Chain A
């Protein structure tokens, strides 16, 4: 019987004690761990293989973690959890704006980090047997307002056929909207669907992710046309959505 694949986590932190802590705890809990102490090391690990998730410190000796996060997100949908002792609200918001999937301030308990890693991995992966909207439609391709979302490859194409990278969370959120077009979805519904009630569930996270998704869809933040805010109720995707089964 084939063993299930082991999730491969990359921890990027300049403090060897933090790397030891995360490595020990994660390996004891069945994860594979690679480590880098700076941005250069991060790129070296990614150059030699793939990882399932990156735990990224913000204060690195050679590069700012936020810049790294943005650079990663421009070319990859690998989930990112920011881990930093900067820890202020503004850093958390900027981190999420830069494309991180979650943020945990230092000092942290490794069990909490492990729970968040598992939560992010769950919500950023396809859910073939879940009760999400779009159940059983893993091969579907969505067409809306000139845009195309290819679910199997998680690739978003602009009306000009340009590739637009989405983080795992952004993909999950967009898919929920596309499965429920022209329906007002409350923040609670969006949290239920995208986080399966296992992530850190606070409304501001959804607001920030909607804001990021609007940017991906090149919406004017003041007058968004596609994902509209319904005051007091939530959000609605205002577009005709067509689905097809074939890869474009």
Chain B
């Protein structure tokens, strides 16, 4: 099993009507990464659950089904106060955001 990080670019097609708000949406997810990392350190699982819940509800609407999926797992991990799983979700979200290439169509 490899521990190598997958750095291949990930092309996601997004509705062109959303072009004006997608950059802000993704910037907010980067802020979430910082926020949830801080929450993890402080053991604030309920606050992390709310952020995961919101990500789950909004991601696919913007065209990012993976964000919804990660958000759902974050919500569940926070509900179970699973620090390791929550940290894994944060890492996955960070990697996902780093690999994103958006095509508006």
Contacts and interface: CB of A to CB of B under 8 A. Distances in A.
A107 B15 contact: no
- Secondary structure dominating the interface of B: helix
Interface string B60-100: 11100100100000000000000000000000000000000
Contacts of A20: 21, 24-25
Q: Which range holds the interface residue count of chain B?
A: 10 to 19
B68 A25 contact: no
Given A17-B28, A20-B24, A106 B17 contact: no
Which of B28, B57, B68 has the largest number of chain A CB atoms within 10 A? B57
B15 A24 contact: no
Lowest 4 CB-CB distances: which A-B pairs, in order? A107-B60, A106-B57, A85-B57, A17-B58
19 contacts: A15-B54, A15-B57, A17-B25, A17-B54, A17-B58, A21-B21, A21-B25, A21-B61, A24-B17, A24-B20, A25-B18, A85-B57, A106-B57, A106-B58, A107-B57, A107-B59, A107-B68, A108-B60, A111-B15
Interface of A: 15, 17-18, 20-21, 24-25, 28, 59, 85, 106-111
